[in-house]
Amino acid sequence: MITLCGFGLSNYYNKVKLALLEKGIPFQEELCMTGSSDESVLSASPLGKVPFIRTEQGGLCESQAILDYLEAAYPAVPLLPQDPWQRAKVHELVTFVDLHLELVARELYAQAFFGGKVDETTQARVRKLLTKNIAGFKRLAKFSPYLAGEHFTQADCAAWVSLPLVAMASKIVLGEDLLVAGGIDWKPYVALVGQRPSAQKVTADRKADQERAAAAKKPG
Ligand SMILES: N[C@@H](CCC(=O)N[C@@H](CS)C(=O)NCC(=O)O)C(=O)O
């Protein structure tokens, strides 16, 4: 059986978990935090990032590589169109979400979510780049009702977990939800996907992890 390693507060962990649940693939979860120097982690995820999976064939990291493996190995419930062009268009959207939106907004997370500080120069650079990238994303994303069109795809696994973080981080640190400012009304989309049983399970597990983490921090 596949073992999904990581933790429920990680958006990339939840991207993979959502795909596993959508596709009805049996899996178990193993709690694993980032930055491990444990050989059993680094042999599967050499940079110590989560998520990664353990399979009978070995370990595999990078959420998109994992999604593509799952798609090829478990084709019964597809999260990619059959048509090569439409497939590539879904991958294009995933790249925009993961690389051009989330990875850029990630520079704000220290201040947005972890009590740190992001300097003014970085803030200005992130604002400029995110504004440009969001305008590009807007040209590609269909939201009709799913990101790539009529069907739920890998692009929704990526977007559903990351668009709220891009919005929140920019609102908290830069004073403006740059997705909304760029004309992307992400809330109804996130609510729509959030109604899916797979998404409800991911949300419930994430909240339980959040509560556990908060309880662990409390003195006494
Ligand atoms: N490109 C990676 C990104 C994964 C990632 O950045 N995960 C975060 C947790 S949400 C992490 O492991 N951060 C620790 C680090 O970057 O060292 C993927 O798609 O799996």
CA of 220 to the centre of ligand 1 (A): 32
Q: Which of 15, 18, 34, 98 is the best mutation target for the ligand 1 pocket, counting ligand atoms within 8 Å of the beta carbon and taking the most?
A: 34
- Euclidean distance between CA atoms 199 and 163, whole angstroms: 14
CA of 7 to the centre of ligand 1 (A): 11
Ligand 1 neighbours by CB, cut-off 6 Å: 10-12, 34-35, 48-51, 62-64, 98
CA of 10 to the centre of ligand 1 (A): 8
Report domain extents, the chain: 2-73, 84-216
The verdict on pTM exceeding 0.95 is yes
Nearest to 93 by CA among 38, 154, 182: 154
What residues have CB less than 8 Å from 113, skipping those under 6 apart?
Answer: 169, 172
Other C-beta atoms closer than 10 Å to the C-beta of 215 total: 8
User: Is 126:108 a contact under the CB 8 Å cutoff?
Assistant: yes
In the prediction, which pLDDT does 220 show? 60
Q: What residue's CA is closest to ligand 1, atom 12?
A: 49
Strands (E), the chain: 2-6, 27-31, 52-55, 58-61
Domain 2-73 CATH (choose: 3.40.30.10, 3.40.47.10, 3.40.50.300, 3.10.330.10) = 3.40.30.10
In the prediction, which pLDDT does 119 show? 98
Q: How far is CA 207 from CA 4, 29, 127, 213, in A?
A: 18, 16, 29, 10
In the prediction, which pLDDT does 206 show? 96
In the prediction, which pLDDT does 216 show? 84
Regions of the chain where pLDDT drops below 70 = 219-220
Residue 31 tokens read as 């709690």
State the Cα angle at 154 between 150 and 155, rounded to 5°.
Answer: 70
Domain 84-216 CATH (choose: 1.20.1050.10, 1.10.150.120, 3.40.50.720, 1.25.40.10) = 1.20.1050.10
Please write the tens of the pLDDT for every residue from 87-109. Answer: 999 999 999 999 999 999 999 99
Q: Which of 7, 34, 49 is the best mutation target for the ligand 1 pocket, counting ligand atoms within 8 Å of the beta carbon and taking the most?
A: 49
Closest atom of ligand 1 relative to the 35 alpha carbon: 17
